[in-house]
A = this chain, B = another copy of it.
Amino acid sequence: MIAEIISTGDEVLSGAVVDSNAAWIARRLYETGIAVGRHVCVGDDFEHLADVLCKAGRRTDIAVVTGGLGPTVDDITARAAALAAGVDLKANPAAMAYIEEFFRRFDRPLSDSDARQAVLPETAEPILNSVGTAPGFTLTIGKCRFFFLPGVPFEMRKMMKDHVIPFLENEAWQGGTRGFYREKRISLFGLPEAHVNERLADLTDMIGGVKLGMLAEFPVIHVKVSAFGQDLQEIDAMLEQAADLIRKRVKKFVFSESGQSMEEVVGQLLKQRSATLALAESCTGGLIASRITNVAGSSDYFLCSAVTYSNEAKIRMIGVLPHTLETHGAVSKQTAMEMARGARRMADADYALAVSGIAGPGGGTDEKPVGTVCIGFAGPDESFAEQHCFPFDNRLANKKIFAEAALNRLRKTLKSEP
């Protein structure tokens, strides 16, 4: 059973948008035990798309198509699918009822172009979209079962999870030709990709049948081991063996083996201790607080962040001494420590984390170049500060790596790791 992934839209074709949908769909299909044969991307060109759909229908068993289902003029996918399947377009009553209900719920008027989204190839079955207006649909073209989904990532993902994957997992439909796919992801921070690679290069030779992948999601690296086959027990044993080897080689840098982000790991540790956290952020400008509060339920442990961008704010909001700023500068271990202590005191928190650094592009000196960051920590038993220097001169890269390093320091302290 081979699948193809077809992305549509001028924005993707012209490179204005990177096609991350294709990679996400490919991973889900592999997990379901379905191998992917190719990805294709075409623009908003009706005839070209119809041609691609026709050919895929002759060549492959399953195809997932994204994009071009919305209400706008460049949304030509349903028309192209109808041409490729050799059927007419027709307003689909189930899709229409759903769109009407969606607009009623939000008390919005239904326009003609909204209603056009319910016009589907007449042999199509709609796939309902619970988070947007454009319904998807499934139909057969040639020998291939097609799934048409919106290009908006969160709508597409929800419809894949709720409808497409359950359909594909149905053994009856598959006729038993599926294999098993398993993967394990180990997330690292603090070791450059080339070094991770070097330490793990011989892994696939040592454990045959295991594939090694590396996904850099700056500044974090996810090492992925995966295997595909007929015997589930054998696959699981191989993956566990591979994971053991990875742990042995890069243990110090592992922060998660469950796909959890750094802020989720830290949140869990705080919850386990029933402890509260306050932050004081300078150069990260609220990024750490924003990441912490991306986690639902973070109000259980997160109290506040003083984003003290100016020196004046550091003095007013968390009581950093003007003398400290004058003597040591805003980016110093002394200031970072006072920021952490001040935030802890001000918020009456169990722990406080503080960051002050130089994200660039300006502001660097010979002594403290762009990429320098001081991380302060204050807790009931100890407080400390440390200084790091990262080799980037990009502002956003520095904000990201400063935030990750600070959260990682907090994680290690909460776990009492060196």
Contact = CB atoms under 8 A, between A and B. Distances in A.
B312 A303 contact: yes
In order of increasing CB-CB distance, the 4 nearest A-B pairs are A285-B293, A286-B286, A286-B289, A15-B26
Given A72-B193, A193-B71, A285-B292, A308 B304 contact: yes
Nearest to A11: B215
22 contacts: A7-B39, A12-B23, A12-B39, A13-B37, A15-B36, A16-B224, A70-B197, A73-B201, A108-B192, A111-B195, A112-B198, A113-B197, A281-B286, A285-B290, A286-B288, A286-B289, A290-B290, A294-B396, A296-B361, A302-B309, A303-B309, A305-B307
Interface secondary structure of A, over-half rule:
mixed
Interface string A221-237: 00010000000000000
A399 interface: yes
A346 B362 contact: no
Nearest to A109: B195
B299 A293 contact: no
A27 interface: yes
A286 B290 contact: yes
Contacts of A211: 10
Interface residues of A, number: 105
A28 B313 CA distance: 42
Contacts of A24: 15
Given A111-B194, A302-B309, A309-B303, A15 B27 contact: yes
A96 interface: no
Contacts of A214: 16, 72, 74
Interface stretch (A41-49, A81-89, A265-273, A380-388): A41-49
Contacts of A106: 391
A389 to B, nearest CB: 10
Interface in A22-41: 22-27, 30, 36-41
Nearest to A158: B394
A317 interface: yes
A112 B194 CA distance: 10
Contacts of A25: 15
Contact of A306 (B213, B215, B306, B362): B306
B317 A310 contact: no
A170 interface: no
B305 A286 contact: yes
A159 interface: no
Contact of A284 (B192, B290, B309, B312): B290
A274 interface: no
A414 interface: no
A167 interface: no
A160 to B, nearest CB: 12
A258 interface: no
Interface in A368-382: none
Interface string A275-288: 00001010111111
